[in-house]
Amino acid sequence: MKKMLLLGLLVPSMLFAQEIKVPTGFSVAEIAKNQGSVRHIAVSKQGHVYAKLSKLKDGNGIIQLKDTNQDGVFEEETLFGKYPGTGIMIDGEYFYASSNKGVFRYALNAKGEIADLNTFETIVDGLPDHGRDNAKPFVFDAGKKHIYVTIGSWNDPCRVPGTGQGMNPCAVLDSAGGVWQFDANKLNQGFKDGIRYATGLKNAVGITWNPQTQSLFAMAHGRGQFHDFYPQYYTPQQSQELPAEAMYEFKKAGEDAGWPYIYYDQKQNKKIVAPEYGGDGKKTGGEKALNPVVAFPAHMGPNDILFYQGNQFPARYKQGAFIAFHGQSSELKKGYLVAFVPFKNGKPSGKWEIFADNFAGTDLAKPTGPIQHRPCGLAEGPDGSLYVSDDLGGSIYRIQFKK
């Protein structure tokens, strides 16, 4: 554990970050910078910010930024948790964080702060980690009866190595490519204690529980390399523009998004058989697989999703979904942004839109320099502010609305 007093050193970073473009009435402040590979984030009732790191910083994988007098400025930074990872959460009883193999919890004291940064309990550990797409984001259902943990696939199309053929059946699905459900209140569980709740997801770094629909939502990363392996069916342009990055809703255990056997083509608005399994870019399939709730352009890399519950933002944002996109679309020449999907009665009520843009710091149509920031994590503060993390530049932003 490493602790330091900032003594107002973050005050200059509170200057409004004019380069981030948001709708009229919103403002953006860069409240922390140079924090390392900041992945998912959480904000406590006291306004403290917690960030999970995918790469250790001074030997630690979690950052605690404390606003001790609640003036909007962090006076104290503490590093703890000697494991890298992505998932993080705080509630009224525990603070939770994940490594690339498991999920752990730290008890909170009467003030709602972590009682001992060096003492934690294990909820689940020993989950598969093959080094690729190995983040273990997690979420609880409304009653905290279950915890849901993503186990991503290390094999992009479930292809037999050295061939153009897919494994049939795909053996990866037995232990990855979906979201597993565990008992939220049982300690020291292993992989065998979970059930495969949602399957057919190559990798879903962004998962959340929608309190309005009482269901699990997941943002699926699409596969790639269509033209590389199947130039007879796909042009280079099609390879850049397919398949969709997709939002799925899972209402019960066993539902299937279709990977690797099918993918969703947002151009044709159809589920298409993957070329590894006899597809040619046109053949439809996956009759039993879910349709996406929303389909986004290819390769944008959705890394978090949050259904807004606060009252600070205008009413149209209430219950709507914010999504942090970590990559870019060569088709749109857009990316590294936070998108918004309006919802009504638990379903999208309009087209997706760009909410916060220009984290890249350069025009992606005609770039003049390197990418500066990549949104990764989202969190809602106790006052309804939206927090956005950046795992490239190590910044954390706070977006507010003032009437």
Enclosing domain of residue 361:
1-80+300-403
Name the domain count of the chain: 2
Average pLDDT of span 25-36: 96
Does one domain contain both 72 and 217? no
Does one domain contain both 288 and 316? no
Q: What is residue 396's predicted lDDT score, i.e. its pLDDT?
A: 97
Local confidence band at 123 (pLDDT 50, 70, 90 cut-offs): very high
Q: What is residue 307's predicted lDDT score, i.e. its pLDDT?
A: 98
HEC string of 193-253 equals HCEEEEECCCCCCEEEEECCCCEEEEEECCCCCHHHHCCCCCCHHHHHHCCCEEEEEECCC
Q: What is residue 9's predicted lDDT score, i.e. its pLDDT?
A: 41
In a domain, 354, yes or no: yes
Does one domain contain both 284 and 149? yes
In a domain, 73, yes or no: yes
Residue for token pair 């699990």: 216
Q: What is residue 26's predicted lDDT score, i.e. its pLDDT?
A: 98
Give the C-alpha distances (Å, rounded to integers) separating 232 from 156, 225, 275: 20, 13, 10
pLDDT tens-digit map of 82-95: 999 999 999 989 99
Does one domain contain both 225 and 351? no
**Distance from C-alpha of 280 to C-alpha of 237, rounded to nearest angstrom:** 16
Pairing, β 103-107 against β 94-98: antiparallel
Average pLDDT of span 234-256: 98
Q: Which residues contact 267 (CB under 8 A, 6 or more apart)?
A: 241, 242
Local confidence band at 4 (pLDDT 50, 70, 90 cut-offs): low
Residue 46 has pLDDT above 50, yes or no: yes
pLDDT tens-digit map of 49-69: 999 999 999 999 999 999 888
User: The whole model's pTM is what?
Assistant: 0.96
Q: What is residue 145's predicted lDDT score, i.e. its pLDDT?
A: 97
Contact 144, 185 (CB under 8 A): yes
In a domain, 180, yes or no: yes
In a domain, 113, yes or no: no
Local confidence band at 17 (pLDDT 50, 70, 90 cut-offs): low
pLDDT tens-digit map of 270-310: 999 999 999 999 999 999 999 999 999 999 999 999 999 99
- By C-alpha distance, which of 325, 258, 277, 276 is closest to 297? 325
In a domain, 250, yes or no: no
pLDDT tens-digit map of 330-362: 999 999 999 999 999 999 999 999 999 999 999
Q: What is residue 381's predicted lDDT score, i.e. its pLDDT?
A: 96
